[in-house]
Structure 1
Amino acid sequence: MSKENNNPLVSIALCVYNGERFLTEQLDSLVGQTYSQIEIIAVDDCSTDASVKILEDYSKRFEQIKIYKNDQNLGYVKNFEKAMQLCTGDLIALCDQDDLWDLNKINLQVAHLADNQLIYHDSRFIDEQGQDMHRKMSDVLHLYKGNQPEAFLLINSVSGHSIMFRRELLAEILPLHPDFFHDHWIAYVATNRGSIDFIPQCLVNYRQHTSTSTDILNTRKKLDKTYHENRDVTKLKRELKWLKHCLSYEKNKDRAFINHFVKLFEQRITSLFSFRYAILIGKHFDILYHNKKLHKSSRIGFIYRQMWGLKAKTIWADLFAKKS
């Protein structure tokens, strides 16, 4: 390990693209970390604003900042892949350009990592203007700790901005598939290789944008009253593709279960409904839906809705489209 005073070097992988509006605040929270053994790997993905100039100004004042500029735009996921590959630390922390870190974030994560493959934490939501939205990640999701990858087959509770993981995981998680969220994949692989844990403290102010693709706060449903995820055909197909990606991981702890789960899930694509799938998720509900905030009294109705296949969803989607 790279150590000074028995503290491992932590690499912060910062991906930047047209982030001038929030980048200065984020950089201040990075260089102000109470943990001293850090390097900041900033990779700019062909920004057309003042992002690079901001990075260069900071790098002149803070030697721990190293700047890399892409020759062509790689996109969000592949830019993170490149940033991770450039990291030299024993531990790697992922960083978005528009959040705000608690100054003790790295120090606390290093202290709590223990024998886990990955450590993450709770986060506080802020709006685009930086105002507190009075909600935390743990208000929306059950945060998972343990060593069962099945918890990440359907729902992710590990946000990229909160992740710190051991360098050894890089060989397992790379290359990243551009169609899937990198944090979801890292969590899935980490629980296959060992265990993960979380710190219940909010260590990041997580900025929410109206155009975000993750929709953690379910804004799409609030804005579009006709939207319902159980009639979202595209979502169902995307989930199947993700499950097949999980199955492709060569070191799955329980390949037989994953394979069986994928086969039953795929039956939903060709069927009106699948009783066998409903029975399976009912039997393993506690782990498959651990990360979802759901009252126990709603479980039976939820399982019933998951039973319906793509053909039924397509019919419902067409009917509701005509009504609207």
Structure 2
Amino acid sequence: MSASISVALCTHNGVRFIAEQVRSICMQTRPPAEIVLSDDDSSDDTVALVRATVAQCEVDRPGLKIALRVFENRPALRVTRNFEQACMACTGDLIALSDQDDTWPADRLESLAAEFERRPDLLLLHTDATLIGAGAEPLGDTLFHALEVEPWEMDRIHRGDAFSVFLRRNLVTGATTVFRRSLLSRAAPFPVEWLHDEWLAIVAAAVGRVDVLEQPLIGYRQHGGNQIGAERDTFARKVQKALASRGNTHVMRARKAELLLERLESIGQPTVPVERVRQVQGKLVHQRFRAALPASRLARCVPVLREAMTGRYNQFGRGFRGVVRDLFESV
């Protein structure tokens, strides 16, 4: 029996692009059984336009029937809780996350669902994306190139060790992601300190199999109003980041590690291998170290070099980049 598919679509004042995205969802070669729309306090006609677009698609494609469920949040829930609400309301075996401003090629859901049906152990799957402009024109780049994804990171995910990769940095963009609804029993509630996509990815990698398709299976729109966009850093931008104020970045990363550790311990063995818990404990030690570094750059030199010798900068961060940032960034 084929898996049923739900789309969790979250919006906020999305009238500019939402009709194009909803139509690309409805016109899939394997259309979803339902769309769950969770709108975050839009002041425009986003919700009405979604309803009208789904209705028009059903007229244009005889026999198409997609259930549309709508939540209108007053006040706004914000990104993580908005997606949590949409996901928890989905009834399909598979849940595809959707932003309001992208476009999907017609065979996207068919291709992804086939992977899940072929691989019963697969819990979450994400893909690359083609970066497109406001007019849906290709920008000549992909999401993974913008993120500077390394071949060894892809290889490790393919080999079943996505957890180690995601402890270093998140590579999963929600708009490219499909997961089994069963994941929610472990992932919900979503902590607001985490973005919904990185939380779903790291929990899925802790308790099951995560994989990636390296071909772009969405058009990821970049239009200047994205809540989270994709742009490859120039060398000048990297230098700017290295010298910028750290603010509470490492304090927040330590808090996120604490929350992840609490969740994995609550799930317990054998669902979460003990090695996963130990890895998060090491991540937490590293982030607490970085959060406690002194204001003086000179005073940081010896402790940062000692920490580098433990290997934790490579295991839980961007390696040499992290060392440079900890030596030079301001407080």
Q: Which moved more, 1:6-15 or 1:200-209?
A: 200-209
Q: What does residue 237 of structure 1 align with? A: 251
Q: Which moved more, 1:237-246 or 1:95-104?
A: 237-246
- Matched residues in 2 for 1:51 and 1:17: separation? 8
- The partner residue of 2:111 within 108, 131, 141 is 108
Length-normalised TM-score, structure 1:
0.82
- The partner residue of 1:88 within 88, 91, 103 is 91
- Structure 1: any 5+ residue segments left out of the alignment? 1-5, 293-298, 319-324
Q: How much has 1:261 moved relative to structure 2?
A: 2.9
- Matched residues in 1 for 2:309 and 2:127: separation? 33
Q: How much has 1:12 moved relative to structure 2?
A: 0.4
- Matched residues in 2 for 1:240 and 1:211: separation? 29
Q: What does residue 166 of structure 2 align with? A: 152
Partner of 2:122, secondary structure, is coil
1:24 corresponds to which letter in structure 2?
A: A
Structure 1 residues 199, 275: closer, same or farther in 2, change over 3 A? same
Partner of 2:287, secondary structure, is helix
Length-normalised TM-score, structure 2:
0.80
- RMSD of aligned C-alpha atoms? 2.6
- The partner residue of 1:127 within 116, 133, 154 is 133
1:13 corresponds to which letter in structure 2?
A: A
Q: What does residue 297 of structure 2 align with? A: none
| Identical aligned residues as a percent | 26
Q: Which runs of 4+ in 1 moved over 4 A?
A: 218-222
Report if the CA contact (8 A) 2:103-2:219 is conserved. Answer: yes
Partner of 1:205, secondary structure, is strand
Report if the CA contact (8 A) 1:119-1:196 is conserved. Answer: yes
Q: What does residue 23 of structure 1 align with? A: 18
2:284 corresponds to which letter in structure 1?
A: V
* Matched pairs, number: 295
Report if the CA contact (8 A) 1:221-1:228 is conserved. Answer: no
Match runs of 1:281-300 below 5 Å: 281=311, 285=314, 288=316
- Matched residues in 2 for 1:220 and 1:178: separation? 30
Report if the CA contact (8 A) 1:230-1:305 is conserved. Answer: no
The reply to whether residue 227 of structure 1 matches residue 230 of structure 2 is no
The reply to whether residue 261 of structure 1 matches residue 283 of structure 2 is yes
- Structure 2: any 5+ residue segments left out of the alignment? 59-64, 294-299
Report if the CA contact (8 A) 1:147-1:192 is conserved. Answer: no
1:44 corresponds to which letter in structure 2?
A: D
Deviations along 1:66-121, one digit per CA (max 9) or x if unpaired, are 32322331111111111001100011110001000111111111111212111111
- The partner residue of 1:278 within 304, 308, 312 is 308
- Matched residues in 1 for 2:127 and 2:279: separation? 29
- The partner residue of 1:52 within 47, 54, 64 is 47
Q: What does residue 305 of structure 1 align with? A: 324
Q: How much has 1:248 moved relative to structure 2?
A: 2.0
The reply to whether residue 136 of structure 1 matches residue 136 of structure 2 is no
Q: What does residue 231 of structure 2 align with? A: 217
Structure 1 residues 247, 170: closer, same or farther in 2, change over 3 A? same
Q: Which moved more, 1:257-266 or 1:184-193?
A: 257-266
Structure 1 residues 187, 134: closer, same or farther in 2, change over 3 A? same
Q: What does residue 246 of structure 1 align with? A: 260
Partner of 2:29, secondary structure, is coil
